[in-house]
Amino acid sequence: MRTTSRDIRTANRYRVLRQAIADSPASRPRLAEATGLSPATVATLVGELLDQRMLVDAGFEDSGGGRPRGLLAVNPEGGALIGVDVAETYVHVEVVDLTLRTLARAHEELYPRDHAPAALVRRIGGAVRAATAGAATRGPLLGAGISMPGMVDREGGVSVYAANWGWHDVPLLDLLSGEVPSPLYLDNPMRACLVAELWFGAASGHEDAVVVNLGTGVGAGLALGGALHRGASNSAGEWGHTQLVLDGRPCHCGRHGCVESYVGAPGIMRTLREIDAGSPLLSEEDQTATVDRLARAHGAGDPVAARVFAETGGYLGAALADLVNLLDPEVIILTGWVARALGTPLLDEARAAVARHALSRPLESTEIVLSPIRVNPVSLGAATFALEGALASVGRGRR
Amino acid sequence: MRTTSRDIRTANRYRVLRQAIADSPASRPRLAEATGLSPATVATLVGELLDQRMLVDAGFEDSGGGRPRGLLAVNPEGGALIGVDVAETYVHVEVVDLTLRTLARAHEELYPRDHAPAALVRRIGGAVRAATAGAATRGPLLGAGISMPGMVDREGGVSVYAANWGWHDVPLLDLLSGEVPSPLYLDNPMRACLVAELWFGAASGHEDAVVVNLGTGVGAGLALGGALHRGASNSAGEWGHTQLVLDGRPCHCGRHGCVESYVGAPGIMRTLREIDAGSPLLSEEDQTATVDRLARAHGAGDPVAARVFAETGGYLGAALADLVNLLDPEVIILTGWVARALGTPLLDEARAAVARHALSRPLESTEIVLSPIRVNPVSLGAATFALEGALASVGRGRR
Ligand SMILES: [Zn+2]
Ligand SMILES: [Zn+2]
């Protein structure tokens, strides 16, 4: 796809509102300085955002002698956004305002009986209604974003493939259209985490960022040159299925030695089993419990847990070093429930291993951090798809 | 670095001229259709390129009933470009016109006595003078591009690091300013190959392309979203030093198991030695001779050569699959002297291995091809840096 002047205007609108959110209230000269856009461009874009009531005037600041400068704030009443994280075992909904304050939320467990498309769509609709019924209405509903596991065709609104549910080419947006307020945006959790980091997290203000998601599955979201890199078939970022060990552990994708089979939760459990097959930390049926116990045991000085952290951090660091050497990003952000549970001790082991494996020049220019986002980042990112959609349609009339 | 509206205008100027080169002569509607730019934008950019005499009017075509459409051709007399490939053992200069026809060339060997900065600069100047003396002058000299091995700070014009010469922070552009016509542009061979493919090769018309260089060293140039991805410290693309085998072969970078130590020329020689230590194909001191002999032996049905091709193609395919899974590019282009020498038989082995290692969705959307460029692609790319520089300064007055 070619970049059109409309895409560029939309991308610049993103930059201005992102900066206004990070820096609210801010003057026009401050927004121009921070985004690198010209004062004239910023004036035009701010004008549009004021017209949309996404920004509001917020007083004046002294400019040191000259005329006082007008300040702009993000308008909490400028609109509400719905973000839905559909995972294999739950639906999580956040309703947020433009300052990303949560207005309401809902969380419902999913069971095997919910896994057929029609049943799942009803459960999603129910969760969204449960959340919006509780939300204090503040301004217009700008849209809803839905993150789905597996492979997603965001343009066509189709769930191309969800392995654990046996889904193929399910026209999800069509099915959802009666259940969830529109406009509706569909994408996968990796992309949701990435836009959440770009707008509200550790990628904010960076042009080249990689968000690495560590959970049961493992993947990477790539923001290069300030924009999401989606790839020729919208499936870029399968870092979890790049190779860490030639002819290594079998991976559920059918190949061997993938990164995921070492640093995803089942891979970490396998490492634990290899170190101590009878470990009391191990709960074969419960990944979350095992990972939580590992974290607590490590904090208490348990030597088996220490070895699991050292080995997992070593694998993770070797795999992150490949991202550093190939992409030379400004920042790599670790997110996902495994990264949250294992936290700084895993990060420290990984950083040490990256330093052993990466070339010195890209290593010096790349920071590796844990995600600073505290709410569910997938729901937040899904809500951000709706915000981006609303910004893309500014000037085209409301959809 | 933020994208400014000037950058966007420059990028669009690249697109229009690139398309005009690929498609000369072409009408304005054809250029608009092929680039995805609006007819108004194309009209403005074509006007600028006509003013610069880079394009010229070239008759009319029937538009099927309406007014005949004016055709535009690239002007061979619109300017000359100098491209210099400085390698460890030679300096190669091409002088080309805007249709990329070679007007003159020079090729000179380098010896250890030439490796000090002052001596090398004199040799580069001499080679450029030897080439330009023989060039039929056709239009203005638009500039010179120089590709240097090692790490290059293109903005500052400094050779940051050239391992084999012991160079650190050599202010190369300053030293060259009396020796080579200006404006002068500096970058590395990987980036040169990438822009050559984007303008004149297999990446032309693609937004997401990876150029993989196989030689003594190994690297990748990334064009993502239609633009070079340079990374935070201008050192993205070190695919040769991503890991293929955990704790594998030692690499000259000091690490173990890097891609380069399996698919660079010395790595291929090591594979040959492991298969048959006394092979008559092996010429320990001469990489080029060994690789050429391997290619001939493979063509003649030699079983040792067949095993070397199969193993090297297997390593290469596994490493390319990581690029497919992570980046999901439209095209991967193999270039460099090793790729040229081993050609289609190596490509076939590599494609088979990619199919075993890559995920099916990105695999389907990614082509893997050999570079179609027949002249020295590094010199051609270096000349293209000068062309891009001239296009970037259109409207700012000649530098
Ligand atoms: Zn896998
Ligand atoms: Zn290496």
ipTM given for this complex: 0.83
Could you give the CA distance from residue B360 to residue A257 in angstroms, rounded to a whole number? Answer: 17
Please say if the pLDDT value at position A256 is more than 60: yes
- For residue B100, what is the DSSP state? -
- Work out the burial of residue A253: count CB atoms within 10 Å of its CB; fewer than 13 is exposed, 13-18 middle, 19 or more buried: middle
Q: Is the pLDDT of residue A286 over 70?
A: yes
> Which listed ligand is nearest to B266 at the C-alpha?
2
In a domain, B399, yes or no: no
Do B60 and B119 fall into the same domain?
no
Q: Which residue of B has its CA nearest to A227?
A: B225
**Cβ-nearest to A328 among B5, B37, B233:** B233
Report whether pLDDT(B399) > 60. Answer: no
Residues A244, A262, single domain; the answer is yes
* Mean pLDDT of all residues in B130-146: 84
Query: Which residues are close to ligand 2, an ion, with C-beta < 5 A?
Result: B 241, 251, 253, 255, 258
Mutate to test the interface with B, among A42, A328, A356, A364 (most CBs of B within 10 A): A328
* d(CA B240, ligand 1 centre) in Å: 22
- Put simply, the answer to whether A318 touches B41 (Cβ < 8 Å) is no
From the CA of B250, the nearest ligand is 2
Ligand 2 centroid from CA B242, angstroms? 7
DSSP B188: -
In a domain, A397, yes or no: no
Q: In B, which residues are within 8 Å of A244 by CB distance?
A: 243, 246
Report the CATH number at residue A94: 3.30.420.40
Report how far ligand 2's centroid is from the alpha carbon of A300 (Å): 38
A164 plus A33 within the same structural domain: no
* Cross-chain residue pair A4–B37, CB shorter than 8 Å: yes
Ligand nearest, relative to CA of residue B257: 2
Interchain CB distance below 8 Å, A208 and B227? no
Q: What percent of chain B has pLDDT over 70?
A: 97
**Are A383 and A94 contacting, i.e. CB atoms less than 8 angstroms apart?**
yes
Poorest-pLDDT segment among A189-203, B145-159, B247-261: B145-159
Contact list in A for residue B362 (CB cut-off 8 A) is 231-233, 235-236, 238
Could you tell me if B104 and B185 lie in one domain? yes
B29 & B137 share domain:
no
Chain B CB within 8 Å of residue A362 CB: yes
Cα separation of B190 and A348, whole Å?
33
Question: Is it the case that residue A269 has pLDDT exceeding 60?
Answer: yes
Q: Which ligand is nearest to the CA of A245?
A: 1
Q: How far is CA A91 from the centre of its chain?
A: 16
Assess if residue B65 is contained within a domain.
Answer: yes
Which of A33, A53, A74 is a domain's end point?
A74
Q: Which of the pair, A208 or B172, is modelled with greater confidence?
A: A208
Q: Are residues A282 and A185 in the same domain?
A: no
The chain-wide mean pLDDT, for chain B, equals 90
pLDDT for residue B156 is more than 80: no
Q: What is the pLDDT of residue B3?
A: 58
Of B321, B260, B243, the C-alpha closest to A238 is B321
The arithmetic mean of pLDDT across residues A2-8, rounded, is: 67
Look at residues B19, B44, B74 and tell me which one is the last residue of a structural domain.
B74
Per CB-CB distance under 8 Å, the chain A contacts of B330 are 232
Question: Edge-to-edge strands of the sheet including A167-170?
Answer: A151-153, A158-162, A167-170
Domain-ending residue, one of A56, A74, A92: A74
Domain count, chain B: 3
Let me know whether B155 and B38 are in one domain.
Answer: no
Quote the pLDDT of residue B137.
Answer: 64
Q: Give the largest CA-CA distance in chain B.
A: 73
What count of CB pairs under 8 Å joins A to B? Answer: 178
Q: Are strands A218-224 and A209-214 parallel, antiparallel or unpaired?
A: antiparallel
Specify whether A363 is located in the same domain as A228: yes
> Are residue B260 and residue B182 in the same domain, yes or no?
no
CB distance A366–B232 less than 8 Å? yes
Phi, psi angle pair for B219, to nearest 5°: -160, 175
Q: What does the radius of gyration of chain A's CA atoms come to, in whole angstroms?
A: 22
Question: How far is the alpha carbon of B329 from chain A, nearest alpha carbon, in Å?
Answer: 6
**Which residue segment(s) compose the domain that B329 sits in?**
204-370
How high is the pLDDT of residue B219?
A: 93
Confirm whether pTM is higher than 0.95: no
Note whether residue B398 is domain-resident: no
Q: What is the mean pLDDT of residues A280-291?
A: 92
Please say if the pLDDT value at position A68 is more than 90. Answer: no
- Ligand number nearest CA of A255 is 1
E strands, chain B, are 26-27, 55-61, 69-74, 80-86, 90-97, 102-109, 141-147, 151-153, 158-162, 167-170, 184-187, 209-214, 218-224, 227-228, 331-335, 367-370
Asked, for residue A197, whether it belongs to a domain, the answer is: no
Tell whether A363 is within 8 A of chain B (Cβ): no
Please check whether residue B360 touches A, CB under 8 A.
Answer: no
What pLDDT, on a 0 to 100 scale, did the predictor assign at position A1? 42
Same domain, yes or no, for B224 and B150? no
Q: Do residue B183 and residue B243 come from a single domain?
A: no
Here the tokens at position B367 are: 């082509």
Whether residue B150 is contained in a domain is answered as yes
CB contact under 8 A, B225 and A220: no
Same-domain status, A215 and A358: yes
Cβ under 8 Å to B: A residues 27-66: 35-38, 41
In a domain, B198, yes or no: no
Are A357 and B255 in contact, with CB atoms under 8 Å apart?
Answer: yes
Query: According to the model, what pLDDT value does residue B395 have?
Result: 62
How far apart, in whole angstroms, are the C-alpha atoms of residue B260 and residue B217?
A: 6
Q: Give the model's pLDDT for residue A3.
A: 58
- Is the Cβ pair A364, B244 closer than 8 Å? no
Please indicate whether, in this complex, the C-beta atoms of A232 and B330 are within 8 angstroms of each other.
yes
Q: How many CA atoms lie within 13 A of A49 on its CB side?
A: 31
Interchain CB distance below 8 Å, B362 and A236? yes
| B255 CB burial (10 A radius; 0-12, 13-18, 19+) | buried
pLDDT at B178: 82
Q: A199 in a domain, yes or no? A: no
Q: Say what the pLDDT of residue A398 is.
A: 40
